[in-house]
Chains A and B, each alone.
Chain A
Amino acid sequence: MVRLDDALAHLDDTQRMLQAKVDPDALDTLQHVAASIADLRRQGATVRRDIGRTDARLRRPTLTIGAVGRGGQGKSRFLQSLTGLSDKEIPAARGGFMTGAPSLIRPGTGPTTAEVEFHDAASFLADLIAPYYRELGLGPPPSSLAEFERTRPPALPAEASMRASHAYDHLGTYRDNLAAYRNYLVGQHRVQSVPPEEILRFVAQHDGAGRPTHDFRAVRRVRITAQFLHDDLGQLAVIDLPGLGDTNLHDEHVLRQALDGEVDLVLFIRRPDPLREDVHDVDVDLYDVVRTALPELPVEQWSFLVLNRVEGGDGDNTAMIEQYAAAVRRSRIRVTDIAAANCTDPAQVAEVFDTVVEQAVRTLDDLDRSLVDRRELEVATLLADAMVLVGEAQVLARRAVPSSAWFPRFLQLFNDTHGRLSRGLDELVEQLRGSTTEHDDELAAAIKAALHRARANVVVPSSDEIVTRAAKAGAYGTVFNDLTNELRPQISRQFLDLDAALKLRVDAMHRQVAEVLTDAGQLGTLHLGGAHEFLCAFAARLPDDGTTAELRFGFQFLTEFTLNYRGLIQHRVRRVLDKLKPDSMPYDASAGAEGIEYILQELVAETLFEIETELENLIFEPREAVFAVVEEFRDRVLRSQGAVDEWRTVYEALRSDVWAEEFEALAANTELFNQWTRAVEGVATAAGGQLPVLQRAAG
Chain B
Amino acid sequence: MFVRDSTHGRVMDVVMLGPRGVGKTSLLASLYDQFPSVVGESALELSVTDGTTRSLLQGYREDLRRFARGGPARDRGVGGTTNLRQYLLGLGTNGKRPPQMTLRFTDMPGVLLDKSDGHAERVKLNQILPTASVIFVAIDSPAMLERRGVYNEEINKPAHVSEFVKDAVTTTGHKLVVFVPLKCERYAASAADLTQLTVEVKRHYRSLIDGFASAPHVFCGAVLTTVQTVGSMHFSRFETGTYGEPCEVFRLSRFGATYDPRDTDQPLRWMLRFAVNGFMARDKTVGEAFRDWWNDTDHTLTQALRKFGAACKEDEGFEILHRHPYLELP
Partners in one complex: yes
- Which A residues are closer than 8 A to B by beta carbons? 585-588, 590-591, 594-595, 597-599, 601-603, 605-606, 609-610, 613, 616-617
For B71, give its contact among A598, A605, A613 (CB under 8 Å): A598
For A605, give its contact among B147, B249, B252, B255 (CB under 8 Å): B249
B256 interfacial by beta-carbon distance below 8 Å = yes
B238 touches A609 (CB 8 A): yes
Counting from the closest, the 3 A-B pairs by CB-CB distance are A588-B255, A609-B237, A588-B256
A452 to chain B, nearest CB (A): 13
Count chain B residues whose beta carbon lies closer than 8 angstroms to a beta carbon of A.
16
B207 interfacial by beta-carbon distance below 8 Å = no
Q: Which residues 133-152 of B have a CB within 8 angstroms of A?
A: 146-148
Complex contacts, B236 vs chain A, CB 8 Å: 602, 605-606, 609
A585 touches B254 (CB 8 A): yes
Complex contacts, B255 vs chain A, CB 8 Å: 585-588, 590-591, 595, 599
B237 to chain A, nearest CB (A): 3
What residue in chain B is nearest A463 (Cβ atoms)?
Answer: B72
Complex contacts, B72 vs chain A, CB 8 Å: 594, 597-598, 601
A345 to chain B, nearest CB (A): 139
Complex contacts, B146 vs chain A, CB 8 Å: 613
What residue in chain B is nearest A601 (Cβ atoms)?
Answer: B72
Complex contacts, B254 vs chain A, CB 8 Å: 585-586, 588
Tell me whether chain A's interface is mostly helix, strand or loop, or mixed: helix
Q: Which residues 34-91 of B have a CB within 8 angstroms of A?
A: 70-72
Complex contacts, B249 vs chain A, CB 8 Å: 602, 605
Known pairs A588-B255, A602-B252, A605-B239; list 12 more (Cβ under 8 Å): A586-B254, A588-B254, A591-B256, A597-B72, A598-B70, A598-B72, A598-B252, A602-B251, A603-B251, A613-B146, A613-B147, A616-B147
What residue in chain A is nearest B252 (Cβ atoms)?
Answer: A599
In the bound complex, CA of A92 to CA of B150 (Å): 134
What residue in chain A is nearest B147 (Cβ atoms)?
Answer: A613
> Given A598-B72, A599-B251, A617-B148, is A606 in contact with B256 using a C-beta cutoff of 8 Å?
no
What residue in chain B is nearest A590 (Cβ atoms)?
Answer: B256
What residue in chain B is nearest A607 (Cβ atoms)?
Answer: B237
What residue in chain A is nearest B236 (Cβ atoms)?
Answer: A606
Complex contacts, A594 vs chain B, CB 8 Å: 72
What residue in chain A is nearest B150 (Cβ atoms)?
Answer: A616
Complex contacts, A597 vs chain B, CB 8 Å: 72
A-B contacts, 10 of them at CB < 8 A, read A585-B255, A591-B255, A595-B255, A599-B252, A599-B255, A602-B252, A605-B239, A606-B236, A606-B251, A609-B238
In the bound complex, CA of A244 to CA of B15 (Å): 153
**Residue with the highest number of chain A CB atoms closer than 10 Å, among B70, B146, B254:** B254
In the bound complex, CA of A601 to CA of B236 (Å): 11
In the bound complex, CA of A630 to CA of B148 (Å): 28
In the bound complex, CA of A595 to CA of B252 (Å): 10
What residue in chain A is nearest B255 (Cβ atoms)?
Answer: A588
What residue in chain A is nearest B72 (Cβ atoms)?
Answer: A598
What residue in chain A is nearest B148 (Cβ atoms)?
Answer: A617
Complex contacts, A613 vs chain B, CB 8 Å: 146-147
A606 touches B252 (CB 8 A): no
Q: Which residues 232-265 of B have a CB within 8 angstroms of A?
A: 236-239, 249, 251-252, 254-256
B256 touches A605 (CB 8 A): no
Complex contacts, A590 vs chain B, CB 8 Å: 255-256
In the bound complex, CA of A597 to CA of B255 (Å): 11
Complex contacts, B237 vs chain A, CB 8 Å: 605-606, 609-610
Complex contacts, B238 vs chain A, CB 8 Å: 609
B121 to chain A, nearest CB (A): 36
In the bound complex, CA of A616 to CA of B236 (Å): 17
What residue in chain A is nearest B235 (Cβ atoms)?
Answer: A606
Complex contacts, A599 vs chain B, CB 8 Å: 251-252, 255
B178 to chain A, nearest CB (A): 30
